[in-house]
Amino acid sequence: MSGPKFSTWRPHPWHGLPTGPEPPRIVRAYVEITPFDLVKYEIDKESGYLKVDRPQRGASLPPALYGFLPRTYAGKRVGALMEGATDGDHDPLDVCVVSERPIARAEILVEARVIGGVPMLDAGAADDKILAVLTTDALWGKAEDLGDLPKPMIDRIVHYFSTYKRMPGELPATNVGAPYGREHAFAVVRAAMADYAELVPASATPDGPLP
Architecture of domain 26-202: Alpha-Beta Complex (3.90)
pLDDT at 155: 96
User: Could you read off the pLDDT of 64-81 as tens digits, one per residue?
Assistant: 999 999 999 999 999 999
Residues of the chain with pLDDT under 50: 207-211
Give Cα separations from 205 to 4, 28, 32, 93, 168 (angstroms).
21, 17, 22, 18, 44
Q: Please write the tens of the pLDDT for every residue from 107-132.
A: 999 999 999 999 999 989 999 999 99
pTM passes above 0.75: yes
Give the per-residue pLDDT at 132.
Answer: 98
pLDDT for the residue 140:
97
